[in-house]
Amino acid sequence: MPSGKTLILVFILIGAAVFAATDWNVIKQQNRDYVTFSNVAHFYQFPEYTRVSHTVSLRSQRRGMRAEAGKSELYINGVRFFTDFPILSGPNDELISAMDVAKIIEPVIRPNKIKNAHKIDNVILDPGHGGADNGASNRWGNEKSFTLDVANYARQQLIAAGYKVEMTRTSDKYVSLEDRASFANKFQNAVFISIHFNWSGNAEGVETYSLAPAGVVSNAVLDRETAFANTGWCPGNAEDEKNIALAAAVHASVLTKLSMFDRGVKHSRFSVLRNSKIPSVLVECGFLSSAGEGQRIATPLYRQQLGLAIAQAVKNYDAAVNFRAEGGTFASARTSLPPHSRSITEPLSAYVPPAPAQIEKPSISINAGE
């Protein structure tokens, strides 16, 4: 049996090993910067790291991450994200692009470290379509009226929570996509949430879009066929980190509240996302074309739950990006956060007290995409 002294020595050595992993070891693949998942595990302090037939799994007490080589998907705390570039298989480990670390993992795992995040005052809700533009329709109704209904429910909840809420439309009228974004841009300390429903055969589930980072191809087929197939920088890219954190919050909240199929957090260059200068997302809250989901969406109670989920997401995002360890205990932060099964605020309840500066700061190479 080891003596007490031996045990202390072992502990210190493990600690030193973690602190030594201060740097990102960047590997060039396909002309792009990549890092290994074991590097990610060290940097974000996941004590458990497994790799079985090209699937990597990282776990800590309250966080989890999973990815498979060859795919463009990453699961963070059970929520599906479409990565900017494919996960690759390296000689000894699977690899993820530095862009995906900077633009997805970092802001989703540590939303409280996003630069220039402010307490939210204004929430801009954007019910999709309106007027002559019905959007998708099924036998029970039109997308334009369902989106307005969801927005109204979300609005009530957000006002009750103390937010100022603005809507791009409050009645059945046509508003151009450009006008929706320029309306949103009038507000400060604000977020923008565009609400839509989907249409495609028997598909079901929720998908949430944030703006594709510059250099990244859109996940939306329509985008690729238009002038916005280019991957250049758009005004909305100034808010990349907040965009993805907000998308994660909205997506996780809808998944949690409505137990919908997870179609993933995706990236696109939709007009309202491209042109908004405040953190923005577009959520497709299910398929009107599906017999089951289409009928559920037509139920007022279901739309009310969607509205509640969106309002909860704003509160979760606001708490997550503004969470500061100093001046309060972790225990008090835990009690102030709402209960949830899958959400970006989840890591905060397991927030590790500030570690030495050298391991907190991502290297230049990881942030190069900013």
Instruction: Tell me if 46 sits within 8 A of 65, measured CB to CB.
Output: yes
286 near Zn ion (CB under 5 A): no
Residue nearest to Zn ion (CB): 196
Nearer to Zn ion, 169 or 196 (CB): 196
Burial of 27 (0-12, 13-18, 19+ CB in 10 A): middle
Closest CA to 167 of 189, 195, 204: 195
Q: Cβ closer to Zn ion: 127 or 213?
A: 127
Helix (H) or strand (E) segment spanning residue 243: helix 240-258
Cα angle 282-100-105, degrees, rounded to a multiple of 5 = 80
Q: Which is nearer to Zn ion, 130 or 135 (CB)?
A: 135
Q: Give the nearer residue to Zn ion in terms of CB position, either 80 or 129.
A: 129
Q: Among 123-131, 174-182, 222-230, 261-269, which window interacts with Zn ion (CB under 5 A)?
A: 123-131
Contacts of 350 (CB under 8 A, 6+ apart): 60, 61, 62, 63
The footprint of Zn ion on residues 317-346 (CB under 5 A) is: none
Closest contact distance (angstroms) between CB of 288 and Zn ion is 9
What is the rounded CA–CA span in Å between residue 81 and residue 116? 24
We find the least distance from the C-beta atom of residue 251 to Zn ion, in angstroms, to be 17
Stretch near Zn ion under the rule CB under 5 A, chosen from 95-103, 131-139, 294-302, 355-363: 131-139
Write the interaction track for Zn ion spanning residues 33-62; mark x where CB under 5 A is met and - where it is not: ------------------------------
Q: Which of 130, 135, 213, 294 binds Zn ion (CB under 5 A)?
A: 135
In terms of CB distance, is 196 or 251 closer to Zn ion?
196
Q: Which helix (H) or strand (E) holds 147?
A: helix 143-160
What is the dihedral sign for C-alpha 128, 130, 135, 140? positive
44 DSSP β-pair partners: none
Binding footprint of Zn ion, residue count (CB under 5 A): 3
Among 57, 28, 63, 27, residue whose Cα is nearest residue 44: 63
Q: Is residue 130 near Zn ion by the rule CB under 5 A?
A: no
128 binds Zn ion (CB under 5 A): yes
Q: Give the one residue of 66, 144, 155, 196 binding Zn ion; rule: CB under 5 A.
A: 196
Coil, strand or helix: which one is 8? helix
CB of 181 to Zn ion, least distance (A): 15
Question: Least CB distance from residue 196 to Zn ion, whole Å?
Answer: 3
Assign residue 305 a region: left if phi > 0, alpha if psi is -120 to 50, beta otherwise?
alpha
Which of these segments, 122-130, 200-208, 247-255, 332-340, binds Zn ion (CB under 5 A)?
122-130
Residues near Zn ion, by CB under 5 A? 128, 135, 196
